[in-house]
Chain A
Amino acid sequence: MDSSVLFLPELLLIASIMAIPGLYIFTENRNSYSICSNLSLSGALIFLVVSWYYPDTISMNRDVSVYIFYDHFKVDDFSQLFKIVFVLTALIVSLVSTSYFEENEPHQPEYFTLLLSSTLGMMVTASANDFLTIFIGIELSAFSSYAMVAFRKKDDQSTEAGAKYLLIGAFSSALSLYGISLLYAITGSLTFDGVEAFIDGLNSGVIEGDFTEVIFIASLFIMAGLGFKIAVVPFHAWAPDVYQGAPTPVTALLAAGSKAMGFVAVFRVFVFVLEAASEEWKLVLGIIALASMTTGNLAAISQNDVGRMLAYSSIAQAGYIMIAIPALSSEAMSGAIAHTLVHAFMKGGAFVVVGCVGAVGLGYNLDSYKGLAQRSQLLALSMTVCLLSLVGIPPFAGFISKFFLFYGTLKVGLAGENWLIILVLVGVLNSALSLYYYLKIMRYMYLYDPESSEDIVFPNTVRYISFGILLLLAVIFPLYWESLFELCREASAALIA
Chain B
Amino acid sequence: MRFPVFLLLAIFLLPMASAEDHTVLVSQSPDGMSYYFEPIILEIAVGDNVTFVWGNGSHNVAQVASSDSGIYESGFRSGSPQVGGNWSLPVEYASQDGTLYYVCEPHIMMEMRGTIVVGTGKLPVPEISMEFGDFPWLSYLLVFPIIGSLWTFGFRDSPNAPRIIALFTTLFTLLLSIVVFFKAGKESGFSLMEEYEWAPSFGISLLLGVDGLSSPMVLLTGIIGPLTVIFAWDEREKPALFFSLLLVMQTALFGVFITLDYFVFYVFWEVVLIPMFFLIAIWGGENRRYASIKFFIYTFTASVIMLVGFMALYFETGAETFSMIEIAKQNGEFSRDFQIWIFAALFIGFAVKVPSVPWHTWLPDAHVQAPTAGSILLAGVMLKMGLYGLIRAALPVVPLGAEYFVPLMVVLAIISILYGAALSLGQTDLKKLVAYSSVSHMGVALLGVATMTELGLAGAVFMMFAHGILSPAMFMVAGVLYHQVGTRDIPKLGGLATHQPNTAGVFVVIFMGSLGLPGMAVFVAELSVFIAFFESHGYWLLLPISGMVLTAGYHLWALQRAIFGPDSKQIDVEHVHEATWYEMYPMFSLVLVATLFGIFPHYIMDPITVACYDILNFMGVL
Contacts and interface: CB of A to CB of B under 8 A. Distances in A.
Interface of A: 388, 393-395, 399, 406-407, 410-411, 414, 424-425, 428-429, 431-432, 435-436, 439, 443, 446-447, 481-482, 485
- The 6 A-B pairs of least Cβ separation, nearest first, read A432-B301, A394-B267, A394-B270, A482-B199, A428-B304, A414-B315
B201 A393 contact: no
Interface stretch (B182-190, B292-300, B443-451, B593-601): B292-300
B270 A425 contact: no
Contacts of B292: 443
B289 interface: yes
A237 to B, nearest CB: 28
B202 interface: yes
B300 A432 contact: yes
B300 A435 contact: yes
B293 A432 contact: no
Interface in B235-293: 266-267, 270-271, 273-274, 278, 281-282, 288-289, 292-293
9 contacts: A394-B267, A414-B316, A424-B308, A429-B301, A432-B304, A435-B300, A447-B288, A481-B198, A481-B199
B305 to A, nearest CB: 7
Given A414-B316, A428-B305, 19 more contacts: A393-B270, A393-B273, A393-B274, A395-B267, A395-B271, A399-B267, A407-B202, A407-B311, A414-B312, A424-B308, A428-B304, A429-B304, A432-B297, A432-B300, A443-B292, A447-B281, A481-B198, A482-B199, A482-B200
A435 B282 CA distance: 18
B293 A443 contact: yes
B262 to A, nearest CB: 12
A482 B289 contact: no
Interface residues of B, number: 30
Question: Which secondary structure dominates where chain B touches chain A?
Answer: helix
Nearest to A413: B315
Contacts of A411: 315
A406 B312 CA distance: 11
B164 interface: no
Nearest to A406: B311
B130 interface: no
B280 to A, nearest CB: 10
B307 interface: yes
B278 A446 contact: yes
Contacts of A393: 270, 273-274, 300
Contacts of A410: 311-312, 315
B289 A431 contact: no
Nearest to B268: A394
B289 A443 contact: yes
B199 A388 contact: no
Nearest to A404: B202
A435 B308 contact: no
Contacts of B312: 410, 414
Contacts of B297: 432, 435-436, 439
Contacts of B199: 481-482, 485
Contacts of B288: 447
A482 B201 CA distance: 8
A443 B281 contact: yes
Contacts of B202: 407
Contact of B296 (A414, A439, A481): A439
Contacts of B274: 388, 393
A19 B304 CA distance: 52
Nearest to A394: B267
A393, A399, A425, A431: residue with the most chain B Cβ atoms closer than 10 Å: A393
A432 B304 CA distance: 7
Contacts of B300: 393, 432, 435
B282 A446 contact: yes
Contact of A425 (B301, B308, B315): B308
Contact of A428 (B270, B273, B308): B308
Contacts of A447: 281-282, 288-289
Contacts of A429: 301, 304
